[in-house]
């Protein structure tokens, strides 16, 4: 392990030296590529240096304790040794966590699809609430969100919505949201104040481009139709909406948010490629006998992952048993505490598997 870490540090130093070269600095593309690679290595190098520093400090303190008789000096050495020994386990754990295999899709943009589930109109209203929550979370993170397809109800609910979030690390945060979300609240349509239980499903896909997943256009039917929406909101009425159908699998994607037919087609094909790539990943996972099916990060559409209980003001994530009594903040996009806990649980599970 030390040899591997030494190689990483050596590579980091060489990247730093190349970035200081005037010729490299004069080429923005080359400099940007080196900077991205260096940025990926920097946390590992910093963590390893901290582990080495603590080990060296402990060794030096032990040497002082062995050689010195002066009580004051021995007291300082003992304090240094205790501090280093106390800090070392956490530093080593941080380093091990950074060395875990990375999901190659983590830095990609993300496609999120929300559909109303059980509960009729209330499930559609809840789906709209989830979309608002994710939109506000994306805004907090400084990411760009754009709607690809929207099917509303007359009361402002959402039968289904597909949107793309563009930003560094978007998939790494949203990937934990895939699954069934349950809500317990008094619906706006309820006249007697009774609490109803409804659900909505969330699917999360890393955005793929044509280079990563090739689409055979001979297997795809493209239809053009007129956009439509409840009350005429959010979509235009020109014949620019696109429906693409993957004939071998029957997978259908509609995109009608852009006013340009060509933009809608490009976006629909991107979503189709992402869906087909995810289906292939799911098939490969199912084929690998005995493979771990983690409850964190790979929520299936039929798996209830979270409950939003409005009367009690709580949100519970069932995968990790976490309950937070801050439902208003969460519905306003304050998701980091939830997602951070899921990331930590996922890392802990992978560390246990690798032990």
The reply to whether 124 and 60 lie within a common domain is: no
- The pLDDT, as a whole number, for residue 292 is 38
Residue 93 lies in a domain: yes
Rg, Å, the chain Cα set? 26
Element spanning 314, H or E: strand 314-317
**Same structural domain, 86 and 166:** no
Asked if residue 208 and residue 71 are part of one domain, the reply reads no
User: Within a domain: residue 294?
Assistant: no
pLDDT bracket for residue 300 (50, 70, 90): very low
**Cβ-count burial 265-295 (b if 16+ within 10 Å, e if not):** bebbbbbbbbbbbbeeeeeeeeeeeeeeeeb
Residue where one domain finishes, among candidates 71, 98, 125: 98
Q: Are residues 79 and 205 in the same domain?
A: no
Last residue of a domain, one of 50, 78, 98: 98
Same domain flag for 173 and 310: yes
Give tens-digit pLDDT for 166-181. 998 899 999 999 999 9
pLDDT of residue 328: 96
CA distance 94 to 329: 29
Whether residue 89 sits in one domain with residue 132: no
229 and 255 share a domain?
yes
Which residue range(s) make up the domain with 128? 110-289+299-348
- State the pLDDT at residue 235: 46
CATH code for the domain in which residue 63 is found: 1.20.58
Range scoring the smallest mean pLDDT among 83-87, 161-165, 230-234, 250-254: 230-234
164 occurs within a structural domain:
yes
Assign residue 304 the CATH number of its domain. 3.30.70.1660
**C-alpha neighbours within 13 Å on the C-beta side of residue 63:** 6
pLDDT of residue 27: 84
* pLDDT given for residue 110 in this prediction: 93
pLDDT digits (tens, 9 = 90+) for 178-200: 999 999 998 776 767 788 899 99
Map tokens 């190349």 to a residue. 18
- In this structure, are 94 and 115 located in the same domain? no
* Together in a domain, 284 and 200: yes
**Cα distances (angstroms) measured from residue 154 to each of 3, 119, 227, 229:** 63, 16, 16, 9
Query: Of 254, 232, 79, 228, nearest to 162 (Cα)?
Result: 254
Q: Nearest 5°: phi and psi at 341?
A: -65, -40
pLDDT at 95 over 70: yes
Examine residue 39 and state whether it is found in any structural domain, yes or no. Answer: yes
- Count the domains in the chain: 2
- Mean pLDDT, residues 90-116: 88
Please tell me whether residues 41 and 163 are part of one structural domain: no
Q: Are residues 211 and 72 in the same domain?
A: no
91 with 129, same domain: the answer is: no
Percentage of residues in the chain with pLDDT exceeding 90? 42
């Amino acid at each position: 392990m030390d040899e591997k870490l030494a190689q990483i540090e050596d590579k980091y130093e060489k990247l730093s030296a190349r970035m200081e070269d005037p010729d490299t600095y004069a080429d923005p593309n080359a400099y940007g590529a080196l900077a991205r690679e260096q940025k990926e290595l920097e946390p590992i190098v910093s963590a390893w240096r901290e582990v080495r520093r603590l080990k060296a400090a402990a060794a030096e303190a032990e040497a002082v304790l062995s050689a010195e008789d002066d009580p004051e000096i021995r007291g300082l050495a003992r304090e240094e040794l205790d501090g280093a020994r106390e800090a070392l386990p956490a530093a080593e754990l941080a380093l091990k966590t950074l060395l875990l295999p990375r999901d190659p899709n983590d830095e990609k943009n993300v496609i999120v699809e929300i559909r109303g589930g059980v509960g009729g109109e209330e499930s559609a209203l809840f789906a709209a609430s989830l979309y608002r929550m994710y939109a506000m979370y994306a805004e907090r993170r400084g990411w760009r969100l754009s709607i690809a397809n929207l099917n509303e109800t007359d009361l402002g609910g959402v039968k289904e919505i597909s949107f793309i979030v563009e930003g560094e690390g978007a998939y790494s945060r949203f990937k934990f949201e895939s699954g069934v979300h349950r809500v317990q609240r008094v619906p706006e349509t309820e006249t007697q104040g009774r609490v109803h239980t409804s659900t909505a499903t969330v699917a999360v896909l890393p955005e793929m481009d044509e280079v990563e997943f090739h689409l055979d256009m001979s297997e795809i039917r493209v239809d053009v139709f007129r956009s439509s929406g409840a009350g005429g909101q959010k979509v235009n009425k020109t014949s620019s909406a696109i429906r693409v159908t993957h004939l071998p699998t029957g997978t259908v994607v509609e995109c009608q948010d852009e006013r340009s037919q060509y933009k809608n087609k490009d976006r629909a094909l991107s979503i189709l490629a992402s869906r087909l790539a995810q289906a292939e990943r799911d098939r490969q996972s199912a084929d690998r006998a005995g493979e771990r099916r983690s409850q964190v990060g790979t929520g299936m559409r039929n798996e209830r992952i979270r409950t939003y209980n409005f009367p009690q003001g709580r949100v519970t994530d069932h995968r990790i048993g976490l309950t937070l009594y801050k439902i208003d903040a969460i519905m306003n996009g304050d998701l980091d505490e939830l997602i951070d806990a899921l990331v930590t649980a996922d890392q802990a599970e992978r560390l246990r598997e690798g032990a």
